[in-house]
């Protein structure tokens, strides 16, 4: 997908030419690139495509390639923590996510992830279940500690020590700690978060094609990543609204090993869930394989559309047809096994059989010329060429503030501050402490037209200096409230700037922060006037843009379906006329054959009568009249066939007209880019509350 070149120049292809292939052709790499460039231009032209079509494709989407566990492409942070599902998740969803997360982690450790018989699986599942029930995320380091000292003393009806002795738990903790400490494991903790929304759309809402390359991973690592990804997809899909329009597609190139017929690897359960449920949320699943035997065809019976290419063995054909029969029966249809086997046996290169459970007939089709250069699998070095260095570095966390450079100052005892100013010590460890101001504030955002009426509670920490402190302020977590009122032992303090901690100065900080927050903490909402849609509170630009695109697709699909139904009536009426014309041709042909036979008999009788002298003149007259009727019947057949041909041409023209009108409608709707209008909502100034203002001491 990344090897798509709008200019189709030889220089575009040359870096990706396989030297061995060029040598086999008896060419230099440059000469072979020239030949490939010409081949691609000609191939695309035969299918009505060109470089402009490729350019439209590249402009319409962002394409990103991720290499989890490697720095070749974009890094993906997979294992930082185990986060609980959404608050509205039901018990079954939470159980499935726990099972998937634990199974994937144990597979990475090389432990059999049996959810019933594995003590490791049961222990880890209980640890996650307890944390998630309290709405808590579990860091990997915390998980290692909790394995040694679980926050419960019973599992099921048995006490913990009887079920899983401490010495055995310690071995598991050591094994997991060894995984965390291994040099190669750090790549699983770096990069962008494994966020399905970010994989499908950019921050600006542009659709994204995300390629997740896992060829470099070991078998256990691949299973861990795929199962983790699928569980995240299941969780994301269930948070979406239902729709009959296509929202996104998950495509797996080679599903072999992830959906076996008998065993239950960690990837199988979430994949089954997606096959059964994802369609209702507008999420499509495309599974590809070259190993059609070792697949769970009972699971694949949920697939309504099958694309079948050449199969190598009779066993492959038999297994695929068995799967098709299951898919057809589950949808209430029937399958002509012999016809399918005959079609599969005769497939040529690049020809596929399309079997749709909702269509009456199967279709043979030839694949068009690909817009992408079909280079084959890429090496990590080549992937790095396609991923700019800036893309391979994870972006900084939103809201991160770069601390100002501070000159060296004298350090000593804790300064004395004015009475009435409350102090807070943000650590109890020895060290050098600097003065900050800590504010607890409430912001009220109101915009009736956007359905917005919300309060934000913030903790803001700012270093004290000669200027207004709030210019260098940063948001801090709720744990900043867990401060001590007493200074830590063996602490040294850097004196605050002169006059910065007086009572009057502190009152001014409270006024300054209101002005500062009013200017710097607006909420950005979005709306589209044409569709009368507005973003929901907390909805990002990317999420709103994706929702807007889905609404447009639903409107497009509805309009296209309405147009198809209108033409379907015309096509059905025309097909009925064609059917009647075919019947007439058959009748006329039958009458013609019958008249020809009767005339032949009469002619024979006339000849015999002439020879033997028996009423020859009468028979000759009858035979002559019969010959005339044969001629008229032949003309009737010709007229009926001509009428049938005209009707068939009218039917084809009607089908072409219907197809062209639907395509034109879809193209017109897709050309209209949805406009996003930015709506800035500042906090209501009169409602900004500063409920606490403290002198905070923070260690370096």
Strand partners, 688: none
162's tokens: 């009887």
pLDDT band at 71 (very low <50, low <70, confident <90, very high): confident
> pLDDT by residue (tens digit) across 366-389?
999 999 999 888 888 889 888 876
In the predicted model, is pLDDT for residue 410 greater than 80? no
Burial of 327 (0-12, 13-18, 19+ CB in 10 A): buried
Altogether, the residues listed in the chain come to a count of: 700
Instruction: Say how far apart CA 357 and CA 306 lie, in whole Å.
Output: 9
Strands 76-77 and 192-193, bridge-based pairing:
parallel
* Whether 543 contacts 236, CB under 8 Å: no
Instruction: Say how far apart CA 408 and CA 253 lie, in whole Å.
Output: 58
- Residue listed under structure tokens 């190993």: 291
Nearest-5° Cα angle at 86, 85 to 89: 85
- Which backbone phi and psi does 699 adopt, to 5 degrees? -75, 150
Q: The whole model's pTM is what?
A: 0.72
Report in angstroms the alpha-carbon separations of 191 from 622, 647, 677, 687.
98, 63, 31, 39
Q: Is the dihedral of CA 591, 596, 597, 602 positive or negative?
A: positive
* Whether 496 contacts 433, CB under 8 Å: no
Least Cα distance to 194 among 2, 394, 476, 400 occurs for: 394
> pLDDT by residue (tens digit) across 3-29?
999 999 999 999 999 999 999 999 999
In the predicted model, is pLDDT for residue 405 greater than 50? no
Q: In sequence order, what are the residues at sequence separation of 6 or more whose Cβ sits closer than 8 angstroms to the Cβ of residue 278?
A: 237, 250, 284, 285
243's tokens: 């729709």
Lowest mean pLDDT among 143-157, 307-321, 395-409, 451-465: 395-409
Strand, helix or coil for residue 670: helix
Strand, helix or coil for residue 28: coil
**What is the predicted pLDDT for the residue at 404?**
40
In the predicted model, is pLDDT for residue 462 greater than 60? yes
Q: Is the dihedral of CA 76, 81, 84, 86 positive or negative?
A: negative
Please compute the mean of the pLDDT values over residues 318-330 and round it to a whole number. Answer: 80
| Domains in the chain with CATH codes | 10-61 (no CATH), 308-358 (no CATH), 411-522+682-699 (no CATH), 541-678 (1.10.287)
More confident residue, 142 or 612: 142
Instruction: Say how far apart CA 506 and CA 61 lie, in whole Å.
Output: 51
In the predicted model, is pLDDT for residue 644 greater than 90? no
Instruction: Say how far apart CA 553 and CA 243 lie, in whole Å.
Output: 10
Instruction: Say how far apart CA 278 and CA 280 lie, in whole Å.
Output: 5
CA-based Rg of the chain, rounded to a whole angstrom?
37
Strand partners, 364: 353
pLDDT band at 604 (very low <50, low <70, confident <90, very high): low
Instruction: Say how far apart CA 391 and CA 206 lie, in whole Å.
Output: 16
**What is the predicted pLDDT for the residue at 356?**
87
Average pLDDT over all residues of the chain: 83
- Residue listed under structure tokens 């699983």: 188
> pLDDT by residue (tens digit) across 520-550?
889 889 998 888 889 888 888 888 888 888 8
> pLDDT by residue (tens digit) across 199-245?
999 988 899 999 999 999 999 899 999 999 998 899 899 889 899 89
């Amino acid at each position: 997908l990344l090897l798509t070149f709008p200019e189709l120049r030889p220089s575009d292809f040359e870096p990706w030419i396989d030297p061995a292939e060029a040598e086999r052709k008896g060419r230099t790499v440059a000469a072979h690139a020239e030949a490939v460039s010409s081949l691609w231009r000609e191939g695309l032209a035969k299918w009505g495509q060109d470089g402009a079509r490729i350019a439209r494709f590249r402009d319409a989407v962002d394409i990103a390639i991720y290499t989890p566990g490697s720095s070749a492409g974009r890094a993906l942070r997979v294992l930082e923590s185990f986060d609980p599902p959404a608050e509205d998740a039901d018990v079954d969803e939470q159980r499935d996510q726990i099972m998937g997360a634990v199974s994937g982690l144990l597979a990475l450790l090389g432990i059999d992830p049996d959810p019933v018989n594995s003590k490791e699986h049961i222990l880890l599942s209980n640890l996650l279940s307890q944390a998630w029930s309290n709405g808590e995320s579990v860091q990997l380091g915390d998980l290692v500690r909790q394995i040694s000292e679980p926050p419960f003393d019973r599992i099921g009806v048995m006490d913990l020590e009887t079920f899983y002795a401490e010495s055995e738990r310690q071995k598991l903790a050591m094994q997991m700690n060894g995984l965390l400490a291994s040099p190669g494991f750090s790549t699983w903790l770096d990069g962008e978060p494994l966020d399905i929304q970010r994989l499908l759309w950019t921050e600006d809402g542009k659709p994204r094609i995300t390629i997740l390359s896992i060829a470099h991973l070991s078998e256990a690592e691949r299973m861990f990543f795929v199962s983790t990804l699928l569980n995240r997809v299941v969780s994301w899909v269930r948070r979406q609204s239902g729709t009959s329009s296509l929202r996104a597609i998950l495509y797996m190139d080679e599903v072999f090993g992830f959906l076996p017929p008998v065993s239950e690897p960690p990837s199988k359960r979430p994949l089954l869930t997606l096959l059964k449920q994802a369609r209702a949320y507008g999420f499509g699943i495309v599974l590809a394989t070259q190993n059609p035997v070792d697949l769970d065809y009972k699971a694949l019976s949920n697939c309504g559309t099958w694309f079948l290419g050449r199969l190598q063995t009779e066993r492959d054909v038999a297994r695929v047809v068995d799967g098709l029969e299951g898919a057809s029966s589950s949808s209430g249809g029937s399958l002509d096994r012999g016809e399918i086997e005959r079609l599969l046996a005769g497939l040529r290169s690049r020809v596929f059989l399309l079997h749709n459970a909702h269509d009456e007939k199967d279709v043979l089709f030839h694949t068009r010329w690909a817009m992408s250069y079909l280079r084959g699998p890429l090496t990590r070095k080549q992937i790095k060429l396609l991923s700019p260095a800036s893309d391979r570095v994870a972006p900084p966390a939103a809201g991160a503030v770069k601390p100002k450079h501070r000159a060296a100052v004298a350090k000593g005892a804790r300064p004395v501050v004015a009475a009435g100013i409350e102090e807070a010590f943000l650590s109890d460890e020895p060290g050098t402490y600097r003065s900050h101001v800590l504010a607890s504030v409430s912001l009220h955002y109101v915009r009736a037209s956007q359905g917005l009426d919300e309060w934000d509670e913030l903790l803001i920490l700012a270093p004290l200096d000669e200027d207004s402190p709030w210019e260098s302020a940063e948001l801090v977590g709720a744990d900043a409230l867990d401060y001590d009122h007493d200074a830590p032992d063996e602490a040294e303090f850097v004196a605050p700037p002169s006059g910065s901690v007086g009572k009057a100065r502190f009152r001014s900080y409270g006024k300054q922060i209101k002005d500062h927050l009013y200017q710097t903490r607006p909420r950005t909402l979005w709306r589209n006037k044409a569709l009368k849609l507005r973003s929901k509170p907390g909805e990002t630009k990317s999420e709103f843009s994706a929702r807007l695109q889905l609404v447009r697709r639903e409107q497009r699909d509805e309009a296209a379906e309405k147009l198809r139904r209108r033409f379907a009536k015309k096509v059905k009426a025309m097909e009925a006329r064609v059917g009647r014309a075919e019947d007439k041709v058959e009748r006329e042909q039958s009458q013609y054959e019958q008249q020809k036979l009767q005339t032949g008999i009469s002619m024979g009788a006339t000849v015999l009568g002439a020879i033997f002298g028996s009423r020859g003149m009468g028979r000759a007259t009858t035979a002559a009249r019969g010959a005339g009727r044969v001629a008229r019947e032949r003309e009737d057949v010709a007229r009926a066939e001509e009428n049938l041909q005209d009707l068939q041409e009218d039917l084809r023209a009607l089908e072409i007209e219907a197809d062209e009108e639907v395509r034109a409608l879809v193209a017109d709707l897709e050309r209209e880019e949805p406009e996003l209008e930015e709506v800035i909502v500042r906090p209501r100034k009169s409602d900004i509350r500063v409920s606490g203002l403290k002198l905070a001491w923070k260690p370096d």
